[in-house]
Structure 1
Amino acid sequence: MKAVVIEKPGVAMVVNREKPVIKQGEVLLKIKYVGFCGSDLTTYLGKNPMVNYPRIPGHEISAVIHECADGVPENYTVGKAVTVIPYSNCGQCPSCKAGREYACQFNQTLGVQRDGAMCEYVSVPWQKLLMAEGLSDVELALIEPLTVGFHAVERGRVTDGDTVLVFGCGMIGVGAIVRSVLRGAKVIAVDIDDEKLKIAKELGVQHTINSLSEDLSLRLKDIEPGGPSVIVEAAGNPKTYLSAVQEIAFTGRVVCIGYAKEEVSFATKLFVQKEMDILGSRNATANDFRAVISYLGRGVFPVDKMVTEIVEPEKASQVLNGWSKNPGKVFKILLEFN
């Protein structure tokens, strides 16, 4: 079968691999689309500490069931369209024992710690499949990245009484924006790209701030003088991490999704004075996946505006190289195996 492999930093190519042979309880999927995640880009750039090379990337999956092994429930039938929860869990670590398997200490995400789905076929345990009747093949590939933002809002305990600021309006930040809006919160979107801020406005954001051309603190004093009660950091930038701690309201919650590329030093005085909650947010629960599927089923999400480009596997290297040079202009790039 055809597969995209990142052989080493800066080198991605299409190779031939053996089609997987499914075992008891597994399903063989025929891949339709796979989204490029920021983790795939950092793997390509050699900046992902969780990856060994060579690696098949990809965990944002749209597929159809091609074959089922023994032990798979009868409702998982050939031809059914599915997406995949791409995380593994050991069942024994503190996270798993606490019922938070998505944050398993020994998690292996497809395309990161183990080979992923940028290939024609992939085998997965049937328990990791989710069916989404009525969604298009493209929408199926958008579910997983949106769930990460949905989960961050869950971690932040957002309600209709909150003012939520989201740093970063890529796909992860968009997920946080959408779920905050769905919960009735007042939402402020911050980014350095006006086009992304325009789409955030269309998604229901009340206020947008371009932090490159506007003074963030001054704007926030006008919008929410006491500061936002929840801030979601989805940019992965040391500056936005610092801003989150500085701008959060007293007793507010800061939810961190983005991986900053370097260490961040904080004035710990603010931690104590504000009695703030600082929360990590990792991956997503099955319920987050179901919530995204339900939302996309409404048909209100601007799919065409969110998909920057759809390319064939042979262009994977070209796309990764171009994205690395101009990351701010990309929402979602999909690889098509149809």
Structure 2
Amino acid sequence: MKALICSRPGAFEYKDLPAPVLQPGHAIIKIKRIGICGTDLHAYQGTQPYFNYPRILGHELAADLVDADALSGFVPGEALTFIPYFSCGKCIACRNGKPNCCVTIQVCGVHVDGGMADYLSVPEDTLVKSDGLSYDELALVEPLAIGAHGIRRANVMKDEFVLVVGAGPIGSGTMEFARIAGGRVIALDINDGRLEFCKRIINVEHTINASAENVVGRLEEITNGDMPTVVIDATGNRKAINSGLQYLAHGGRYVLIGLQREEFCFSHPEFHKREGTLMSSRNATRQDFEHVIHTIKAGLIHPLTYITHRVQFDEVKDVFEEWLNPSAGVIKAMVEKE
């Protein structure tokens, strides 16, 4: 089978590899779509935590089932997606219903090889029914589930102000689920194109350009001086993460979806006087995947509007670096395989 390998930061190479062989408890899937996400971009740049080279990237996937060990309810040839976080089922996190932060988690395309290949072997208990979604929609379930999980962590309530810092695909999805939960959403970014997408496509109520406006002043104006009771970072940018606390209301919740390699820090007195709650939000669970699929089918989210760039699998090596440039205007790049 053909695979695209990230051999080191800044370097891709196509190789012919043996196709996976069916193993007990696993399924073989044929890849049809690959969504490109921040994890893939950061891996290519050499800034992705928990990462080793060489690695086959790709975990936002749509596929057809080829074969499975002993799985009931699925038939060969049917379209599906899967939960790309392989957990042990035995550690304290798994025992407490949090397999998304398993002690020995193996994330597809990060810790183990992912879906930039013709075929992939995955644990059969990670498969997720398509429920009638298209390949494009299925490939977008996972990134939307990241946002859905973050909003569930934040326990967003009706009519409270939710500031999402970072208007990329993960941030935009987070805004969608904040809106669905009843929150009044504020988008903060430095890219006018992405802020316009948030306003025009996903109906975000308020947008702020951090490089052109007084952020604290605008937040006070929007919230009548209260400041947002939920602040969510979806940038994975150290400076943005460190700055986020100043935007938080007293008694508020600060949720970190974005991830970067270094330490983060902020003023303890500022955090303490707010009696703030700090949370991380890692990956997602089957509950989040099912919630995303339901919202798509109900017409509450229209994920195809996220796709701004499309390429064939054979073209990825030549165009991937272009997607790192903000001027390319990428919201979501989708790789097609036949």
> Cα deviations across residues 7-66 of structure 1 (Å, max 9, x unaligned)?
111110211111111122322111100111211112112222422221111110100111
Q: How far off its partner does 1:200 sit?
A: 1.6
CA contact (8 A) 1:193 1:328 kept: no
Matched, 1:255 2:269: no
In structure 2, the residue matched to 1:80 is: 78
* TM superposition score normalised by structure 1: 0.95
Query: Are residues 132 and 143 of structure 1, via their aligned partners in 2, closer, same or farther at CA, if it must alter by over 3 Å?
Result: same
Matched, 1:246 2:241: no
1:33 match: secondary structure:
strand
Aligned pairs for 1:115-264 within 5 A: 115-201=113-199, 202-224=201-223, 225-264=225-264
**Could you tell me how far apart the structure 2 residues matched to 1:31 and 1:10 are?**
24
Gaps spanning 5+ residues in structure 2: where? none
CA contact (8 A) 1:167 1:189 kept: yes
* TM superposition score normalised by structure 2: 0.95
Q: Counterpart of 2:9 in structure 1: which amino acid?
A: P
In structure 2, the residue matched to 1:289 is: 289
Q: How far off its partner does 1:246 sit?
A: 0.7
Name the stretch that deviates more: 9-18 or 278-287. 9-18
Question: What is the alpha-carbon root mean square deviation over aligned residues?
Answer: 1.6
In structure 2, the residue matched to 1:65 is: 65
CA contact (8 A) 1:102 1:284 kept: yes
CA contact (8 A) 1:13 1:316 kept: no
Q: Counterpart of 2:96 in structure 1: which amino acid?
A: A
Q: How far off its partner does 1:302 sit?
A: 4.0
Q: Counterpart of 1:156 in structure 2: which amino acid?
A: A
Name the stretch that deviates more: 88-97 or 118-127. 88-97
Report how many aligned residue pairs link the two structures. 336
**Could you tell me how far apart the structure 2 residues matched to 1:93 and 1:26 are?**
21
In structure 1, the residue matched to 2:104 is: 106
1:72 match: secondary structure:
coil
2:106 match: secondary structure:
coil
**Could you tell me how far apart the structure 2 residues matched to 1:260 and 1:8 are?**
19
Q: How far off its partner does 1:135 sit?
A: 1.1
CA contact (8 A) 2:296 2:303 kept: no
CA contact (8 A) 1:119 1:337 kept: no
Name the stretch that deviates more: 181-190 or 233-242. 233-242
**Could you tell me how far apart the structure 1 residues matched to 2:49 and 2:282 are?**
16
**Could you tell me how far apart the structure 2 residues matched to 1:295 and 1:177 are?**
14
In structure 1, the residue matched to 2:88 is: 90
Q: How far off its partner does 1:327 sit?
A: 7.5
> Cα deviations across residues 148-206 of structure 1 (Å, max 9, x unaligned)?
11111111011104210100111111121111111111111111222222222232321
Q: Counterpart of 2:204 in structure 1: which amino acid?
A: V
Q: Counterpart of 1:314 in structure 2: which amino acid?
A: D
Q: How far off its partner does 1:282 sit?
A: 0.1
Gaps spanning 5+ residues in structure 1: where? none
Percent of aligned pairs sharing the same letter:
38
CA contact (8 A) 2:220 2:227 kept: yes
2:20 match: secondary structure:
coil
